[in-house]
Chains A and B, each alone.
Chain A
């Protein structure tokens, strides 16, 4: 008997309001807090994209009240070129860090990982609480940059040096704005490191009796693999951000080369290297892409299996493919730097693993499609969004084949083609994963059902809308439309303006469709029909506990697991599904030991 295999930190059910809802140690409450933060961040990020899209479609259109956000950035309610870039930077940063990382990974992972492994809580509840509150502070530090100095930074979410490191001579927001940005991200890193630590130890050490690693549901595996990536990726981004801060506040010059002339001024910096920032940043940045998408893969598999009433073709191959994605994600980061002045030999070295990484991605997709083939999929909002995820992942992934090759990337890099690629494959796909998870798990998280008609309307508007927005991006990119332009005045760009107007209209409609979701979420939380403990007739552990789960997840007795996570339609079994906790003997030759 291993003494320390018991939870390292025990806590009884909280009694005070603050412990219950604010500084809660309960992973379920922390998961919901993360979800709320992600929702708020997503709405802000979406509003920013609206402002940008309107500006791109109709450059002189005055958006009422915009000057309240920044009187210098939007005089007469029309964006200045700099302020357009500042909003774009914030859109990217908020979406990548505070939505795509927090919602599918931190929010759902916190709520469901300990339940799915059969634990009472994560092993370090205090770390878990700190993880959320640290992230929360990081978010507001970032938002604060709207309101201090000359606004947020304009360098893009990648903060390429030297622009990010030279200070306010670089433009509005490049002084204090960058410092706040880097501080916010460094804080965020700490939060995610604490989270990853908890996720990994929960998976490895907090499984209930009978729950072998291979008996974990695909979602648990996805969160585990994601946290393994997060552990080292965020650990590298943090010192990079600190070096960037030092360049601003301590007079160092890590990322600025000697004798750089900006605005007719020779900068006092000397000796640094601009490429160094890109190496450090993308060493984090590429795993980050998979941190955003792998939890979605897990959620989609989980949702589809439940709605197909049969397991995936191979549980193990899916897990191995996700793990392969994680390993390879550390070896491909340079494909973001093909045109950065990187050594061409490195480009070749990066191009090869980039093409290799399409193999596990393709295997995952083929697993989904092969399992879906001939199955009687139940159509509901969750399964629709899962199908949407697969569709977006394929459409966005295919353009990756083009971008992976340096010779083609030279033409397409820094155009809307790249923007379309990552918005589909990482942005929209991951968002669809979040939506699938929300519709699927909402009854377990709140005890109530979300409205199906509204959910389906939300799906179709989002699905068609997302394609209307991001497919034309590819066309724009091939036509040579460089990204980050705030107006289109060159000869070859003027014919493209109608496309931009079309995209803007599509973006506004799709954005409003998201408000249906928000309405559905809030309305159903209080007025939705009350559901049973297992509305989808699922088999994994979250469906065997009460709704909402008690403070220690399973009440008086800890669960004991007898089966694989996905025993659906097993021949000879007493019902269509066999719960993991059911002691019933079944004759399934494929079952994991």
Chain B
């Protein structure tokens, strides 16, 4: 069984390290939840952490790190589509009488 992303049959050391990193990042999300900041700041920080965490999962658990072509295909495709969805936000703020974020 060989594919281009054949995985070195090395031990689980690297994966375990990535797993621990992801646990820490997930933990940070929970810490942020208890910070005394506005919902908007909270959202920004949590999203940054979530993107880092998801990036680790994509690159190492799903092995995108090993395949440059596929990596860019997936990332550009997905990011472009998700960015395309972001136009609508201003409408949502305005509807609730100028309230920017739910309290």
Measured CB to CB, the residues of A under 8 A from B are: 2-4, 228, 232, 236, 257, 273, 275-276, 279, 283, 327, 330-331, 333-334, 341-343, 345-346, 349-350
Contacts and interface: CB of A to CB of B under 8 A. Distances in A.
A279 B91 contact: yes
A4 B88 CA distance: 42
Nearest to B95: A273
A350 B87 contact: yes
A246 B90 CA distance: 25
B2 interface: yes
Interface of B: 1-4, 77, 80-81, 84-85, 87-88, 90-92, 94-95
A573 to B, nearest CB: 34
Contacts of A346: 87-88, 90-91
27 contacts: A2-B4, A3-B1, A228-B77, A232-B81, A273-B91, A275-B95, A276-B88, A276-B92, A279-B87, A279-B88, A279-B91, A283-B84, A283-B85, A327-B80, A330-B84, A331-B84, A333-B87, A334-B87, A341-B91, A343-B90, A343-B91, A343-B94, A345-B90, A346-B88, A346-B90, A349-B87, A350-B87
Contacts of A330: 80-81, 84
B49 to A, nearest CB: 25
Main secondary structure of the interface of B (DSSP, over half): helix
Contacts of A283: 84-85
A106 to B, nearest CB: 21
A240 B64 CA distance: 30
Contacts of A350: 87
Contacts of A345: 90
B70 to A, nearest CB: 10
Nearest to B96: A273
Given A228-B77, A273-B92, A342-B91, A2 B84 contact: no
Contacts of A342: 91
A273 B91 CA distance: 10
A345 B87 CA distance: 10
Contacts of B84: 283, 330-331, 333
A2 B91 contact: no
Contacts of B92: 273, 275-276
A412 B69 CA distance: 45
A327 B3 CA distance: 30
A346 B89 CA distance: 9
Nearest to B91: A275
A275 B88 contact: yes
A169 to B, nearest CB: 23
A29 to B, nearest CB: 31
Contacts of B91: 273, 275, 279, 341-343, 346
A544 to B, nearest CB: 29
Nearest to B92: A273
Nearest to B81: A232
A144 B47 CA distance: 45
Contact of B3 (A2, A273, A331): A2
Closest 6 CB pairs of A and B: A330-B84, A279-B88, A343-B90, A232-B81, A275-B91, A343-B91
A154 B95 CA distance: 27
Given A236-B85, A275-B91, A275-B95, 8 more contacts: A2-B4, A3-B1, A232-B77, A232-B81, A275-B88, A275-B92, A331-B84, A343-B90
A97 B89 CA distance: 28
A62 to B, nearest CB: 46
Nearest to A3: B1
Nearest to B3: A2
B19 to A, nearest CB: 28
Name the residue among B2, B3, B88, B92 with the largest chain A CB count within 10 angstroms.
B88
A396 B80 CA distance: 28
A405 B2 CA distance: 54
Name the residue among B81, B85, B90 with the largest chain A CB count within 10 angstroms.
B81
Nearest to B94: A343
Contacts of B77: 228, 232
Contacts of B80: 327, 330
A35 B19 CA distance: 50
A283 B80 CA distance: 12
